[in-house]
Structure 1
Amino acid sequence: MDVLPLVALIAASAVVAGAARRTAVPAPLLLVGAGLIASYVPGVPDYHLDPHIVLPLILPPLLHTAALESSYLDLRANIRPVALLSVGYVLFATLAVGWLAYLLIPDLPLTAALVLGAVIAPPDAVAATAIARRVGLPSRITTILQGESLVNDATAITAFKVALAAAVGEGASWAGGVQEFLVAAVGGVGVGLLLMVPIHWLRTHLKEAMLQNTLSLLIPFVAYAAAEQVHASGVLAVVVVALYLGHRSWQVDFETRLQEAAVWKVVAFILESAVFALIGLQLPVVLKGLGEYSVGQAAWYAAGVFVFVVVARFAWSYPATYLPRAVSARIRRREGREGREGNDRDVGSVGDTDGTDGTDWRGPLIVSWAGMRGVVSLAIAFSIPLAMEDGGPFPARNLVLFLTFTTVIGTLVVQGLSLPWLIRVLKLPGRDAQAQTLAEAQAQNAASQAAEARLEELTRDERNRLPQPLQDRLSTVLERRRNSVWERLGQSNPVTGESADDTYRRLAREAIAAEREVFVRMRDERRIDDEMMRTLLRKLDLEEAAAYREVED
């Protein structure tokens, strides 16, 4: 790909994604729609989705940033539903959708139908996290969906390799398929376990934030490549390393954390925007390759496969939710206890069950309907070879590409657009903002008390004596930090509607802006140089960052 089309793709997708933030429509849907429209605009270059680029260069950083933001403790608490979806469901969907497609489409070999099933089996990590952030899913459901999306790509890619080997005539048995899956899974986890400790050690011993963040950008590619080199799952290696680093991110210095959060937000935004736009841009490529199938035939098959995909997820989710409880008294006791405790537990605590005991029929319904497909399915589909081992063409390859494309678009549009409405209709219990603020205030109060005790202990030592103004400033900062969260629970200013905490931050920002203007004016007047101005502005930036809590969009 030339540089100019690539720059145009990134710029245009960023504009559309930015515009989507001002609408109620999730960004992935607008990006796919914009890509579809742009694909028919004269002069727009052909963008070909190269799986040799998407899988090793785009998938690892997206999985890495998703895993960094995931909770290892929450995933461990929900390991059973996550495993049932990320492994069990993907294998079930591969077989069920493949078999039904074989029955629906005349002259489609069963092996090629199973390839199709493996391609469209996994809900996409990008789609799942992008939609979940916008619709405000309850915390436990979000944890399960995110955990599923981190692992299911590894399952699908392995199943695809086994089905593809059988389809092209290389030969594959059930025993061989199971062995390949186990080798890929165990090997991927093993590579991740081997890499995570030395990588974390290196992160904590590098003294410059710039070097630490350069390492951070390399980590997902190193983990993926190392695992693939030994024929293990690069996806699992990336996820294991990122979960470990995210769980121990508090052990790196604050400057690294600030830079790393900003860097990965930008990377994720650019990649997510570009890959969804690429989905829409693939339509002309897919339609040109339909060959012997008419548009009417292909549309009929596409509708059938889409229905199979949706029904298969329901057919798996409900039994996977209720059967383990039906056959295991231990599971019933544990999840019943968690459900009762969930009603009294502070919102946001580890293992939060959203006030349910896990038997509410609405949870599996949302999990079933939230199975959007995305760019990974398309990337896998485009990696299907053109020819068989005997030199003949791969059967119905172009139709498989078309069905993959329509399934991705169908799930994003039908399920993605209706998911917010479904959540509102079902009235699922979300996070209680008041209770969450109370939990935050209690945690901040305990931390501030520990900090005050430590300061008092240190200042009794003559070596740590400070002038009284500086010592008062330390105490004031701690008191302000403790009180700020409590003030969010209090009454608002009757004139402005702001809490005292909001007013404080607004005034602090105005004061800092005044200082910033002075520094810039002094630089312009040549009273200070640019290097000194940047140093002074960085100090103000850190103070402003401390004054304002981060607000997630």
Structure 2
Amino acid sequence: MIHHNLLLILALFFIMAMLYMLSQRLKISYPIFLVMGGLGISFIPGLPHLNVDPDLVFLIFLPPLLFEAAWYSSWHQLWKWRRPVLSLGFGLVLFTSLAIAYFSVHIIPGFTLALGFLLGGIISPPDAVAATSVLKGMEVPKRGTTILEGESLVNDAASLTVFRFAVTAVLTSQFVIQQAVIDFLVAAVMGVFVGVVIGHILYLILRYWIKASSITTPITLTAPYLMYIVAEQFHWSGVLAVVSGGLFLSFRSSDFLNYHTRLQTQEVWATVGFLLNGFVFILIGLELPVIVHGLEGYALDEAIYYALMISAMVIVIRIILVYISSWVPRLLSKRIRETEKSPGLKLPFIIGWAGMRGVVSLASALAIPLTLDDKLTAFPHRNLILFITFVVILVTLVFQGLTLPLFIRWLKVEEVDEYIPEEEQIEAIRIELGKRAIQYLDTNYAVEMSQYETISRIKEQLMRSVTASESTGNEELKKQALSTVRGLYRKIMLELISLRRDGLREMQHAGKCDDEVLRLMESNLDLEEARLNKK
């Protein structure tokens, strides 16, 4: 049976790659395309069902996906927009869970409040991968993308906490709100503590102990699992442990990553992130027919009605709460009005409409226990909750995902903050680093620049081919001169790269430029250093 499942998984990975390439050609967000592709594949006659162990869903998929999201997040931007990020990340999840709990009890016969909270906790967190994939290449204000990405880092912790307490309430028939709040605060604070402590330990190991660059990337791959498992072992928030640890290691990554390990790590994490995200999205489509066949006690049209009503409720609640989060603090606080520009009416709508559900909702739904504590009684309404979750994911992902670009083009949302375009930031960085490089050459290599024509050209153009053959007429001397100047050229260029990298690090700590721009410039330096070291 193992080799049959392995063959099926490998086949799905291959199909996933083909669907991704097709989505790029059709210019459709790949999560949408993978979900629809998985749904189409599920109707192939004779295709074996892929059974997913609920206990492994969180462990396999969540830690690396959260770590990758935290690694590429901008700490400066998150801190700048911490108020809307936290209000949406925690407040929206709690309000959505509460509203869905009472609404589902009202429309679904036999549904309890605990089951309603369970459903609300599952479908409340939006998916960052789906949103950023749809927004890629679209002209969206920087504030909007930062809030969406930052929200996804904290809303997972809030939703999974609601999920955990709701499952406990269903299993034990007991729920004390005061104790739940205390447990949530303890789990959140201690989860962050675990992530930061493990992050510091790994940082010290990677910076002062590990000398072989080949081991750095495997350590970063195991880091999220280590943070998650340790936190969960003490019943603290593994999600916040991974997020806090990932943010810390990302911020200090320039201290322990050289050009080779940075390029290697980026490629490996890009591959791992794509495979895990893609597999989950294609799994959404594959599992839907299985869930439909598992509906017991409900007619299909009845279950679809419940699911569509709750989907509409989720969309409306998010839009309303985003507007409340954007405008109520401005009305109540003079300081906010003075320090933050008005978001207008268009940007909150785009942020609200970008609330597509995905990986975390699927993982939570599949992780619902099969039975109660007695191991005999089936978990009540489990298949209906699964079906509603899958429909909410499909509706928000496909309907909102396909219409979001249309709304962005139609509304023509303009940048609301004083933001320097990426091209101008890159140009400013190049000018600043160029000035530093010229000053360094004048101070340390004045004699060499006057002696060798090729070296003198570095001052005018840092990227220039080495041509030392003009400096002498003797063939043997030509070879010696060429070798000498090449070595000197390479030495100077590597020193200049190190100088520019230090400049980027200073800019990062000063928060003068966006972290995304600084990472792009650092990646260019890595490629340049890799080219020089191959010579």
Task: Give the TM-score category using the shorter length.
Answer: 0.7 to 0.9
Contact 2:190 2:236 in 1 (8 A): yes
Match of 1:458 among 422, 444, 454: 444
Compared CA separation, residues 164 and 466, structure 1 to 2 (3 A)? farther
Contact 1:97 1:312 in 2 (8 A): no
Contact 1:196 1:245 in 2 (8 A): yes
CA distance in 2, matches of 1:332, 1:81: 14
How far residue 233 of structure 1 moved from its aligned partner, in angstroms, is 1.1
Letter in 2 for 1:424: R
Compared CA separation, residues 319 and 435, structure 1 to 2 (3 A)? closer
Q: Deviations over 1:178-225 (max 9, x none)?
A: 012112110111111112222222222323321111212111111111
> Is residue 429 of structure 2 the alignment partner of residue 443 of structure 1?
yes
Q: What secondary structure, in the 3-state scheme, does the structure 2 residue paired with 1:428 have?
A: coil
**How do 1:184-199 and structure 2 match up within 5 A?**
184-199=187-202
Partner of 2:316: 311
State the number of aligned residues: 465
Compared CA separation, residues 303 and 49, structure 1 to 2 (3 A)? same
TM-score by length of 2: 0.82
CA distance in 2, matches of 1:6, 1:467: 63
Partner of 1:367: 351
CA distance in 1, matches of 2:450, 2:200: 39
Partner of 2:459: 475
Letter in 2 for 1:366: I
Contact 2:156 2:239 in 1 (8 A): yes
Partner of 2:480: none
Partner of 2:369: 385
How far residue 60 of structure 1 moved from its aligned partner, in angstroms, is 1.2
CA distance in 2, matches of 1:153, 1:129: 16
Partner of 2:99: 96
CA distance in 1, matches of 2:455, 2:207: 30
> Is residue 270 of structure 2 the alignment partner of residue 284 of structure 1?
no
Letter in 2 for 1:375: V
Match of 1:259 among 254, 260, 264: 264
Contact 1:49 1:282 in 2 (8 A): no
How far residue 231 of structure 1 moved from its aligned partner, in angstroms, is 1.4
How far residue 90 of structure 1 moved from its aligned partner, in angstroms, is 0.4
Compared CA separation, residues 472 and 218, structure 1 to 2 (3 A)? farther
Partner of 1:515: none
Match of 1:69 among 66, 69, 72: 72
Letter in 1 for 2:131: A
TM-score by length of 1: 0.79
RMSD: 2.5
Q: What secondary structure, in the 3-state scheme, does the structure 2 residue paired with 1:8 have?
A: helix
CA distance in 2, matches of 1:330, 1:79: 15
Contact 2:31 2:281 in 1 (8 A): yes
Structure 2 unaligned residues grouped into runs of 5+ = 466-525
Letter in 1 for 2:342: G
Match of 2:414 among 399, 424, 429: 429
**How do 1:384-423 and structure 2 match up within 5 A?**
384-389=368-373, 391-423=376-408
Partner of 1:179: 182
Structure 1 unaligned residues grouped into runs of 5+ = 336-356, 482-540, 548-553
How far residue 458 of structure 1 moved from its aligned partner, in angstroms, is 2.3
> Is residue 325 of structure 2 the alignment partner of residue 320 of structure 1?
yes
Match of 2:122 among 82, 101, 119: 119
How far residue 269 of structure 1 moved from its aligned partner, in angstroms, is 1.6
Compared CA separation, residues 473 and 259, structure 1 to 2 (3 A)? farther
Letter in 2 for 1:436: E
Partner of 1:132: 135
Between 1:364-373 and 1:19-28, the stretch displaced more is: 19-28
Partner of 2:506: none
Q: Deviations over 1:508-548 (max 9, x none)?
A: xxxxxxxxxxxxxxxxxxxxxxxxxxxxxxxxx9569769x
Letter in 2 for 1:392: T
How far residue 77 of structure 1 moved from its aligned partner, in angstroms, is 0.2
Q: What secondary structure, in the 3-state scheme, does the structure 1 residue paired with 2:250 have?
A: helix
> Is residue 339 of structure 2 the alignment partner of residue 334 of structure 1?
yes
